[in-house]
Structure 1
Amino acid sequence: MQREKSEIIEHHQNFLLFLQRMKTLDECLLRKPIGERKWSIIEIVGHFYPWDEFVLQHRIPYLLAGKSLPKAPSAEDFNIHSSFIARTETIEKTFEKCIRIREDLLNQLNQIPEEKWLIKLQIKDSTLTLYEYLKGLMEHDIHHINQMKFTLNKVDEE
């Protein structure tokens, strides 16, 4: 497997392992905001699901077919709605949805032929490869993973 594809696949596999470990944590810890005016860990987890679903349905198929991309939803509206759902549904349901959709995404990424990963794609005013697009999403995941780990480390120190 080429380096670019394996990097993204490995990230998603590790992300799924991280979620599996997180779902065993105490509910009070998962629902506590990570800082002043910040989401809780479960809200962070909950916001991955709709974005993964959006990427699966409205990005990857279009990018691979070389078609124009549908307009993205308002990130703020999307995130407000997803955080509300994560606050109101059970912890188990939020993790279940997030893990399921990430597994679906991983399966789809595994099926993309290696030659498609480095083809230049036009996204709005930018030209980038599928790998570069997915790497940007990976970096977003890592940002939130680091937030959650930092929060959990603070709790361990208390």
Structure 2
Amino acid sequence: MNKESIINEKLSLIEWSISLRSISNELWFKSFLAGSWGTADVISHFISWDQFMIKNRIPYILKGKSFPKISVDVESINKGAINYARSGITKEELINKFISVRKELVSFIDAIPAKKFDQPFPGKEPMTLIEYFVRMVHHDLKHKEQILSFLKTEVHS
């Protein structure tokens, strides 16, 4: 994978998210399993982590600096995403927010010089930007597959 393919993968999720506008509100909020997330929660989760990267990762990558020493409370970020998804925001508004934030993230990724993608970057563990962003792409795809599997079983049940 290279910079262009990472950007394309990140953008492809926008196109896919648009297709979610057609699912019912009942399915939009329905948990995949008892006590688990629903589709709305995952889309909000994408927003939260894209915003985290925009604020706490990309600026430092662009400047060639180490990430700030901040405590990353994954559970708190994920809980905030679920609360946001269920705050009364409509499906349309949440999808539009995701599209807007994802486009912003992609524009930041696009601003990173291609030659930096093969170089190690400062972080907890040594890795290249390609490796870092490939992990993010796999994270997106894991959640996309989770939603697709859920919707497939719901439509056929």
TM-score, reference length from structure 2: 0.93
AA of the residue aligned to 1:122: P
Equivalent residue for 1:19, pick from 9, 17, 33? 17
AA of the residue aligned to 1:146: E
Gaps of 5+ in 2: none
Aligned to 2:104: 104
Q: CA deviation at 1:123?
A: 0.7
CA–CA distance in structure 2, aligned partners of residues 90 and 78 of structure 1 = 20
Say if 1:31 and 1:40, in contact at 8 Å, map to a contact too: yes
Q: CA deviation at 1:72?
A: 4.6
Residues 72 and 132 (structure 1 numbering): CA distance in 2 closer, same or farther, change over 3 Å? farther
TM-score, reference length from structure 1: 0.92
Aligned to 1:74: 73
% same residue: 28
CA–CA distance in structure 1, aligned partners of residues 90 and 31 of structure 2 = 16
Q: For 1:91-127, what per-residue CA distance to the aligned partner results, in whole angstroms no more than 9, with x for missing partners? A: 2221111110001111222222211111111212x11
Q: CA deviation at 1:43?
A: 0.6
The 5 A counterparts of 1:114-133 are 114-124=114-124, 126-133=125-132
Gaps of 5+ in 1: none
CA–CA distance in structure 2, aligned partners of residues 90 and 72 of structure 1 = 31
Q: Does 1:57 align with 2:55?
A: yes
Q: How many residues align?
A: 155
Secondary structure of the residue aligned to 2:65 is coil
Q: How well do the aligned residues superpose, as a CA RMSD in angstroms? A: 1.3
CA–CA distance in structure 2, aligned partners of residues 114 and 73 of structure 1 = 28
AA of the residue aligned to 2:73: S
Mean Cα deviation higher: 102-111 or 76-85: 102-111
Aligned to 2:85: 86
